[in-house]
Amino acid sequence: MDGFNDILHKERALALMKGASSFRGEDWDPERDVSVWAGVMAVRPDDFPLVGNTKRYPNLYLNVGHGFRGTNWSLPSAALLTQAMTLPEGANEALSLIAGVAPSRFWV
């Protein structure tokens, strides 16, 4: 909210890694498996992410632009996207769920 800010808050990164540890299991080592960075968050003009396949490359799927809600929305979005990608040809249950955040709304 204050322009370009690339200050890394290690305590925030550690808290996120601690939370992720419960999902990853014992073989996951944050020191080895995690690369931490800080930078500007991508936010769409309508404040919703881009989730789904692109028009130009139908086999290219995006799950980006979650902005400030990235830690909350990226995993559920990935679950919906996985459903959409693995549906049989012609089925559209999961596709209708992600239609509101499809990249095509910005001509992508």
Segment 11-25 shows an average pLDDT of 81
Domain ranges of the chain: 1-40, 41-108
pTM for the whole structure: 0.59
What's the mean per-residue pLDDT of the chain?
80
Extended beta strands in 38-77, E state: 50-53, 61-64
- Is pLDDT at 67 greater than 80 in this prediction? no
- pLDDT at position 3, please? 62
Asked if residue 2 has pLDDT above 70, the reply is no
pLDDT at 66: 84
Residue with tokens 């690339």: 6
Query: Alpha-carbon distance 86 to 102, whole Å?
Result: 17
Reported as a single tens digit per residue, the pLDDT across 82-94 is: 888 887 766 666 5
